[in-house]
Amino acid sequence: MALNLITLRDSSVVMTLSGRGSERNDKQIIEQRKEEHIAITVSKNTVASYNFWDDVVLEHNALPEVDYEEIDLTTKFLNKKLGLPLMITGITGGFRKAKDINAYLARIAEEYQIPMGVGSQRAMLVKKSLAYTYSVIREYDIPIRIANIGAPQLRELSLDDLKYLVDEIEAHAIAIHLNYLQEIVQPEGDREARGVLQRISEVVKEIGVPVIVKETGAGISGNVAKKIIKVGVSAIDASGVSGTSFSAVEYYRALRTQDDRRANMGRLLWDWGIPAPLAVINCRRAINASRKRVYLIGSGGIRHGLDIARALVLGADIAGIARRALEMYFRGENLDPIVEELKAVMFLTGSRTVKHLKGVRYYIIGKLAEFVKR
């Protein structure tokens, strides 16, 4: 499949000066925005200027003492067995084509027995007829299905709203995404953040499924991780800088609507955030210090099996892919190349299991080394 299957609509986003329109316009804005995000991501340069995973070097083992065929990729996440230490993080939903994307990725998640999240489900709360674009993943035997809602929307949503999101896709967990970088650049963004941590705490106690708190490409610091851990979340997705920049995505949206101020903001904050490997390191330290069983996902710019190995060596339990998964959909690919790459790295480091891989010695070089020194 070509990367231009989804094209941007020609119409401008309709909104009031405050960024909030009528109920009808809110529905139109959200649905159009979902489609634009995918279209821009696959057709424009929206990645961070630097991929910090390249600054993590794993020590080669010239005498592996392991046979390639005995390498075991299985692991556990949220107490469930996975086929390999990887998940498809929340990508999309809320417009017609999203059903096809989610169905394709769900088939992959089923085949390789890895977790899969859906994109923000806010759209199906505003317009329930869009629920099918998310719920399609129920048709597949995925070990862990993950619902998804943005932290900025938490204050206005009831427990029943959140349970609806979980029930509609028969989710085993729910992710709450922290996307304030995107919100501050987005013309119609939600910029109210007071009280969100307390609301996360309430959701953890009431929702009845594990709660994952995730960033969307700007990274979670050690201090923020400590706060999240304290309220009882089950997992953290550190999701730092290296992959898709939502500031970049919003930059292109602003260009289309000739919103120069927002375009300038998007360009200015293109690389804003914590490098993805550093976010993993700092979150792992916070988790270890807490002595609680909190799972850690390493994401943000994961491209191949080597990056997955790097994330695990730095302390992640599993890695997460979004952009790479989207590329698989448009190219008609599966996870076989990534599996082969990961097994090759495990062989070359003498790692028979994922647990062994986590103990491999590593070196930090380049730009990332400057961050780690501080």
Q: Which of 3-7, 63-67, 75-79 has the lowest mean pLDDT?
A: 3-7
Q: Over 90: is that where the pLDDT of 189 sits?
A: no
Does residue 196 have a pLDDT over 80? yes
pLDDT over 70 (residue 221): yes
Residue 14 in this model has a pLDDT that exceeds 80: no
8 Å CB contact between 89 and 237: yes
Share of the chain above pLDDT 70, in %: 92
Tell me which of 229-238, 257-266, 308-317 is least confident.
257-266
Q: How many CA atoms lie within 13 A of 245 on its CB side?
A: 26
What count of residues does the chain have?
Answer: 374
Percentage of the chain beyond pLDDT 90 is 88
From the list 359, 341, 346, the residue with the least C-alpha distance to 68 is 346
CB 134 within 8 A of CB 124: yes
Q: Are 235 and 295 in contact (CB under 8 A)?
A: yes
Give the C-alpha distances (Å, rounded to integers) separating 142 from 24, 55, 265, 279, 324.
35, 33, 39, 28, 19
pLDDT tens for 15-29 read 222 233 334 456 667
Other beta carbons within 10 angstroms of residue 184's beta carbon come to 18
For residue 221, give the H/E element and its range.
none
Residues facing residue 72 across a β-bridge: 353
CATH of domain 23-373: 3.20.20.70
Read off the pLDDT of each residue in 68-86 and give the average, rounded to a whole number. Answer: 99
Q: Average pLDDT in the 132-137 region?
A: 98
Average pLDDT over the chain, rounded to an integer: 93
The DSSP code for 264 is H
User: Region 111-122: what's the mean pLDDT?
Assistant: 98
Q: What is the pLDDT of residue 33?
A: 84
Decide if 14 contacts 25 (C-beta within 8 A). yes
Backbone phi, then psi, for 141, in 5-degree steps?
Answer: -85, 75
The predicted pLDDT at position 25 comes to 58
Query: Burial of 68 by CB count in 10 Å (0-12 exposed, 13-18 middle, 19+ buried)?
Result: exposed
| Distance between CA atoms of residues 202 and 206, nearest Å | 6
333: phi then psi, degrees, rounded to nearest 5:
-100, 170
What is residue 26's predicted lDDT score, i.e. its pLDDT? 64
- Tell me what pLDDT residue 27 has: 67
